[in-house]
Every structure is written in C-alpha cells, then in structure tokens.
Amino acid sequence: MVFVGFGFLMVFLHRYGFSSVGFTFLLAAFALQWSTLVQGFLHSFHGSHIHVSVESMVSADFCAGALLISFGAVLGKTGPAQLLLMALLEVLLFGTNEFVLLDLLGARDAGGSMTIHTFGAYFGLVVSRVLYRPWLEKSKHRQSSTYHSDLFAMIGTIFLWIFWPSFNSAPTSLGDTQHRTALNTYYSLAASTLSTFALSALVGRDGRLDMVHVQNAALAGGVVVGTSGEMMLTPFGALAAGFLAGTVSTLGYKFLTPILESKFKVQDTCGVHNLHGMPGVLGALLGVLVTALTTHQAYGDGLQAVFPLIAEGQRGATSQAVYQLLGLCVTMAFALVGGSLVGFLLRLPFLDSPPDSQCYEDQMCWEVPGECTDEAQVPLSVEEPDTRA
C-alpha cells in the first residue's frame, strides 16, 4: 500500500512539465535499486547475500522520497548528469544517516521527520546554495505556473494527502501502533489543511487564497507527525501539531522564501524548506517532547512496539528523548556537510549544467511537441518589413 505514497511525490512536481515528471521518474527508479543495495549492505548483509523483502522495498521508497525532496530544491537548475551524481551520493549519505540514527543511536523515526524530510530538505537547500546562480532572472519568465499546471499539481497534493497516513504507518508494528499512527497523521493533515486556508486568506491580497499554499502547506501536517505519529500523541496533540505546521509552512511561503533567496542566496524552486524543512525539524522536536513524556502506564503492553529500549529497561524516557535530539543534530550535520560536498562536486564543468538563460526549459532535454510549449510565451520581436517607400 505504502508504495503508492512516493509515486505522487512525482506527480506533485508536474508543473514544470516533462523534465519534472520525467527526471523524477528516472531518479526514483535509480534510487530504488541503488538504495536497496546500500541499505542491504548496512542492514541485512548475511554471508555475502543481501536479503530482500517487502520491508526493503519500503526502505527504498523512503530513500527515494528524501532524494525527490532534494530534487525539489534544485529543480529546473540542474542537468540529468548532475542529478544522477547527486542521487548516487545522496542515497549513500541517506543510508548512512539512517543507519546511525536507527541502529546506532536507537532513535525512533517511523514516518521520517528526521531521516526523510529534514535530511532531504536541508541537503537539497545546501546543494542549491552552492549552485547559486546570480543571473537566474534570465529564466524567471518560465518559472510561473499556468491554470492547468496548477490543477495537475493539485492532483498530486490530493494523492499525497490521502496516502500519507499509510506512508507514515507503513514501517510501524502491525495492530494498535499502526492504527494510532494512521489516525494521528490523519488528524494532523486535516488540521494543517484548515490552518493553511485560514492563513493563506489572511496574508493574501484582498483575502484571496494562493494555490501554492494550498498545494504545499496543506501537507505539512503529515510531515510534522513523522516522528511522533506512532507515539501517544493523542488526537488533540495531532491537531495542534498539524495546525502549527500549516501555519509555519504558509508563512514560510509568503515571507521566508523571498528572504532566503535575496539574503541567503538559496534558490528553493519548490519551497521544500517550507513544506519539508521547517515542519521536519518541528516534527523532530515534537518527537523529543513526546518521548520525554513517555510513561509505562500510557502505553501498557504496546510500549515494546514503540520504544523497545525503554520497555526492556535499558533507557529511561528522558534518556531516549536525548537520543532523539541527538538524532536531529546528526541528521542536520549529515545534510549540511554532505550537501556542501555534493554541491561542489556538481559544479564540475563536464556535468553539463544548463546555462542561466535555459533554466526551467524542457527543450534542453526533451523532444517537445509543437504547441503550448513555454517557448510560445517568449515575446517574439517581429520585425516589420516596411518595404513600401
């Protein structure tokens, strides 16, 4: 079931046309195979064989998710060779980070607030920072959306919304824990949708809503409960978390993205900082908080499924919470350092980066049918013959 979740991350990026959807497809297929190998070496390498199973499919999906989030930050400004190199390295880093967090530190991160969203977003943002293009203005006219492309993107949003509860609950233990995760995700998503609409109308001109906010910020509720979804968050906690995530994300689109670009020289095409970065960090911190409040009587017999180390008496709740916080720091370190290194590698000249004036342009890499291309919007300088006189 969960396998579906990642697919729509692709559709969601539809609005920049063939390249978005095509390269997302390519990167996902590549990441699925490569991360099966990488995670196989790290997790299930027994006697020179890698054991594959449905769980390894789910892990590989999650890795592809993180890669696609990073892709969202550099979308339209990178060529296919750059993207494949980025995928190659990011999958390695993702696997190592996940191994450190889940296996070495024993942190819990079922829906991947840290491993997927925080890692993917900040990795992509740092790469985008290193690849900063001061003359991107030349391609600005191709960056806008159209009425139909917004509707396409909305299909992606609705799918993600619907499958997010399954996505977050996929790697949790069957039974009560899985149901709890799905319900928490669901309440959080519903709350973030409401707060997004409210905020978008509040900050909009004449109270008008902005489609970009609805497409993206409405999903922030799913990101924010990625870590704490399997824990005893309570429905009220999920609603509050979702409300907060929707608010932060919408305000981020409105106010933070322009500042990021002008002050910090980070060109974040899809706004992954608002949808994945900030809600991911919020979600990790929420996980720390909920972990610190863990008690034996709240979970009963279910404690073994969520916090095996606490149930076995090896750790207390506070100590587990410290490890969760440590997990967030490790993730940020991996994302920032890894992203910088990968970013500098991507600047190697033989990787065919598109020129500043050809960003967001399908014709660089695709055979495009005649009509309705972005090209058609470029004003033609018609020279009048005027051979009269």
Task: Read off the amino acid at residue 265.
Answer: K
Residue 95 or 343 having the CB closest to a copy of itself = 95
Among the listed residues 76, 112, 124, 165, the single contact to a copy of itself using CB under 8 A:
165
Q: Please state the closest distance from residue 324 (CB atom) to a copy of itself, in A.
A: 26
What CA–CA distance (Å, rounded) separates 252 from 254? 5
Q: Which residue type, as a one-letter code, is found at position 149?
A: S
Q: Which of 239, 184, 215 is CA-nearest to residue 8?
A: 215
372 scored as a contact of a copy of itself (CB under 8 A): yes
Binders of a copy of itself among 197-236, rule CB under 8 A?
A: 197, 201, 204-205, 207-211, 214, 218, 235
**Does residue number 351 form part of the binding site for a copy of itself (CB under 8 A)?**
no
58 lines the binding site for a copy of itself (CB under 8 A): no
Residues touching a copy of itself, count (CB under 8 A): 73
Per CB under 8 A, 307 contacts a copy of itself = no
- Produce one character per residue of 302-331: b if its CB has 16 or more CB atoms within 10 Å, e if not: bbebbbeebbeeebebeebbbbbbebbebb
Shortest spacing between CB 120 and a copy of itself, in angstroms: 20
Rule CB under 8 A: say whether 161 interacts with a copy of itself: yes
Instruction: Specify the 3-state DSSP secondary structure of 369.
Output: coil
Q: Please give the residues from 227 up to 286 whose contact with a copy of itself meets the rule CB under 8 A.
A: 235, 239
Tallying the residues shown for the chain, one arrives at 389
The position carrying tokens 């899809």 is: 270
SS3 132: coil
Candidate ranges 255-263, 278-286, 368-376, 381-389; the one touching a copy of itself (CB under 8 A): 368-376
Amino acid at 289: L
Q: Which amino acid is at 35?
A: S
Q: What is the CA radius of gyration of the chain?
A: 22
Check binding of 164 to a copy of itself (CB under 8 A): no
Smallest gap from Cβ 67 to a copy of itself, in A, equals 14
The distance of closest approach from Cβ of residue 90 to a copy of itself in the complex, given in angstroms and rounded to an integer, is: 17
Nearer residue to a copy of itself within complex by CB, 219 or 290: 219
Supply the minimum distance, in Å, between the C-beta of residue 131 and a copy of itself. Answer: 22
Cα–Cα distance measured from residue 288 to residue 25, given in angstroms and rounded to the nearest whole number:
35
Binding mask 181-200 for a copy of itself (x = CB under 8 A): -xx--xx-xxx-xx--x---
Q: CA-CA distance, 61 to 116, in Å (whole number)?
A: 10
Structure tokens at 64: 């592809």
Question: 8 and 159 in contact (C-beta within 8 Å)?
Answer: yes
Closest approach, Cβ 304 to a copy of itself, in A, equals: 21
CB of 61: closest distance to a copy of itself in angstroms? 10
- How far apart CA 262 and CA 299 sit, in angstroms, is 48
- Map the footprint of a copy of itself across residues 36-55, applying CB under 8 A: 52-54
Binding segment (CB under 8 A) for a copy of itself, from list 121-129, 222-230, 343-351, 370-378: 370-378
Within 316-335, the residues that bind a copy of itself by CB under 8 A are: none
Q: Among residues 299 and 323, whose Cβ is nearest to a copy of itself?
A: 299
Which residue in the set 29, 104, 333, 337 belongs to the binding site for a copy of itself (CB under 8 A)?
A: 29
- Our CB check for a copy of itself shows the closer of 125 and 218 to be 218
Q: Which of 134, 370, 379, 385 binds a copy of itself (CB under 8 A)?
A: 370
Asked if residues 104 and 49 have their Cβ atoms less than 8 Å apart, the reply is: no
Name the residue among 146, 150, 140, 184 with its Cα closest to residue 165.
184
Q: Does 355 engage in binding with a copy of itself (CB under 8 A)?
A: no
Name the burial class of residue 27, with classes exposed (0-12), middle (13-18) and buried (19+) by CB atoms within 10 angstroms of its CB: buried
With beta carbons less than 8 A apart as the criterion, state whether 289 and 263 touch.
Answer: no
Give the range of 112-120, 154-162, 251-259, 269-277 binding a copy of itself by CB under 8 A: 154-162
Chain centroid, CA 55 distance in Å? 21
Show contacts with a copy of itself in window 74-133 (CB under 8 A): 80
- The H or E element that residue 22 is part of is helix 18-43
